[in-house]
């Protein structure tokens, strides 16, 4: 379902950057579930280059049951740009959830104006992908912009409209990155570093995928995947004292 998206992302990134592999901790790069229970594989890729500190994407293939593409681009700490967040999920034919945003590191008006206002025109061209859905796990006012794509849709729309929107959002994001001037002030750089770290902590604690990872791949693997790969700067909360 989302393989063409993954291929497009890979092609565009490789066209613009000289990406180097960024190591994925042992055992987390590829994993298969117990095929007798619910067959699924999860595979991840991770890269870096001078402009991008961490580019990661993950594909879950559970055949007809679920197809998921999740990706986050973290720019270098020298750029205060939003992160690019992508979460495309299909469960059977019936449930297709697509989310994509320039995820702001800060919520100050001037920052939002600078980095998310350019998205508005694009956003407004995809009314069918902006359904004003309510978020249950996340707070829409933290690390999300007003111009995200957030929709429940059908497989046909995924292959057409969502794919178009994905390409355009990615293109605009890479354009913003091209135009960005690196920060030189060490306090400003430190602030970006902290904000990216806070994003990891926030996301690890709220990720609605945790249950899905546990169901397919087991509790221990799921915890490692969340805290050692997806959101490696997050510190696990102590959830039980024995």
81 binds ligand BLA (CB under 6 A): no
Largest CA distance in the chain: 55
- Its sign, for the CA torsion 159, 163, 165, 166, is positive
97 binds ligand BLA (CB under 6 A): yes
CA distance 165 to 170: 8
Please list the helix, strand and coil fractions of the chain in percent, rounded to the nearest 5, in that order.
40, 25, 35
122 binds ligand BLA (CB under 6 A): no
29 by Cβ neighbours in 10 Å (0-12 / 13-18 / 19+) ranks as middle
Query: Backbone phi, then psi, for 34, in 5-degree steps?
Result: -70, 110
89 binds ligand BLA (CB under 6 A): yes
177 binds ligand BLA (CB under 6 A): no
51 binds ligand BLA (CB under 6 A): no
CB of 187 to ligand BLA, least distance (A): 27
72 contacts 86 by C-beta, under 8 angstroms: yes
75 binds ligand BLA (CB under 6 A): no
Among 128, 194, 208, 219, contact with ligand BLA (rule: CB under 6 A): 208
Binding part of the chain for ligand BLA, among 15-23, 33-41, 80-88, 176-184 by CB under 6 A, reads: 80-88
Among 60, 62, 151, 234, contact with ligand BLA (rule: CB under 6 A): 60
**List of residues contacting ligand BLA (CB under 6 A):** 58, 60, 68, 70, 72, 85-87, 89, 97, 99-101, 135-138, 207-209, 212, 230
């Amino acid at each position: 379902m989302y393989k063409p998206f993954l291929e497009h992302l890979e092609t565009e990134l490789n066209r613009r950057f000289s990406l180097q592999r960024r190591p994925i901790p042992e055992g987390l790069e590829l994993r298969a579930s117990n095929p007798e229970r619910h067959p699924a594989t999860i595979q991840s890729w991770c890269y870096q280059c001078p402009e991008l500190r961490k580019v990661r994407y993950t594909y879950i293939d559970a055949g007809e049951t679920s197809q998921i593409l999740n990706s986050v681009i973290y720019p270098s700490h020298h750029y205060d740009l939003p992160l690019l967040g992508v979460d495309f999920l299909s469960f059977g034919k019936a449930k297709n959830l697509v989310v994509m945003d320039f995820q702001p590191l800060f919520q100050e008006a001037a920052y939002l104006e600078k980095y998310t206002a350019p998205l508005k025109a694009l956003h407004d061209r995809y009314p069918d992908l902006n359904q004003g859905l309510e978020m249950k796990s996340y707070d829409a006012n933290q690390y999300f912009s007003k111009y995200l794509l957030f929709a429940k849709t059908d497989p046909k729309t995924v292959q057409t409209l969502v794919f178009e929107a994905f390409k355009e959002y990615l293109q605009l994001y890479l354009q913003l990155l091209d135009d960005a001037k690196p920060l030189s002030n060490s306090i400003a750089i430190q602030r970006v570093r902290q904000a990216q770290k806070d994003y990891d902590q926030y996301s690890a604690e709220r990720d609605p995928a945790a249950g899905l990872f546990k169901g397919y791949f087991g509790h221990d693997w799921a915890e490692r995947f969340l805290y050692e790969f997806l959101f490696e700067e997050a510190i696990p909360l102590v959830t039980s004292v024995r």
